[in-house]
Amino acid sequence: MKGRGATFEPGNRYREHTREAFDDGWARDDDLPPLKTTVSEQRSRTIIAHNDSPDVPFSQSINPYQGCEHGCIYCYARPTHAYLDLSPGLDFETRLFAKPNAAELLRAELAKPGYRCDPIALGTNTDPYQPIEREWMITRAILEVLAQCEHPFTIVTKSARIERDIDLIAPMAARKMARVYLSVTTLDRELARKLEPRASAPSRRLEAVKNLSAAGIPVGVMVAPIIAQLNDRDLEAILEQAAANGATSAGYVMLRLPLEVAPLFRAWLDAHYPQRAAHVMSLVAAMRGGRDYESAFGTRMRGRGIFAELIEKRFATACRRLGLARGREQSDLDTTRFRPPRTDTRQGDLFATR
């Protein structure tokens, strides 16, 4: 379907019954109306998610949206839509949920007496700068709260729309409280349009790296995911382009195919790269112990086996040659300046310290 990543709707694993399409000879694909994006409000009770996984460099995160219009076929967050009784396929990229009270909830959680300041990561599940952010501006509202409280944060996105918020991010970065990572999967425009149909073009993301860096914001690039025999050839070229545009660090993640993502990705391969599909999946299995996916800590992000080791060596060699720090660092962000927000603004501060 034009402008969408998924090629079908996999069944919901929580439903007792499943449905399958049946061709009665009357309907044709070109008779179907365009699939439109709908956004519903999701009134959350909390906004900060906590994490203790050893595979990721953050302990808490915020996701302003559920579902993602970018439509990346490989997105590991797709299975979360099953919790909403929706499909991880086309529903995930067309039936979205926004959290309009996110900034209000964040302010309340930061004001709690027992809150311990630790960098907050945005963009860990779905992209905080996906197209609907243009109208909803929830990510910007969150950044405004973090800036007011001088709370450190990191952002991961594959959208050049982040340039809109340079006015908020740059002052925080100047005080060592902000860092940004742009995800660049490939330099091939045609492949990117199929993999990530509504994300910014690769060249535009690299331009965003340049603009953010010029504003004094530390920028890294994430080559994620690396897909064997599909985009792995671009690894060194992406790192070279990122470094040339001002990136100072880099990371990578091997393709992950949990739950419904595996059949979705297989169908996508059959539709777009049928002659390469079997070879790609055989290499995926070689890195995942003969399966589509392994969820074990330590290997789920990197894979194992000869091909995974080769990618790791190529990445390390390129980073060393280009002077790029490896990984997504948060430890150098300043947490000492954090000031809890006031929950009652009717009375000013008796003893102002600023």
Query: Residue 206 belongs to a domain with what CATH number?
Result: 3.80.30.30
Residue 22 belongs to some domain of the structure: no
Give the pLDDT confidence score for residue 38 in this predicted structure. Answer: 97
Max Cα separation, the chain? 77
Residue 331 belongs to some domain of the structure: no
Residue 142 belongs to some domain of the structure: yes
Range of the structural domain that residue 264 is part of = 33-326
State pLDDT tens for residues 151-166: 999 999 999 999 999 9
| CA dist list (Å): 339 to 140, 147, 152, 165, 207 | 19, 10, 11, 22, 34
Question: Closest by alpha carbon to 279, among 266, 294, 297, 262?
Answer: 266
Please tell me the number of Cα atoms within 13 Å of 16 on its side-chain side: 0
Average pLDDT for 185-194: 97
Give the pLDDT confidence score for residue 14 in this predicted structure. Answer: 72
Residue 348 belongs to some domain of the structure: no
Least confident of 256-265, 279-288, 328-337: 328-337
Number of folded domains in the chain? 1
What is the C-alpha to C-alpha distance for residues 302 and 252, in angstroms, rounded to an integer?
A: 8
Residue 88 belongs to some domain of the structure: yes
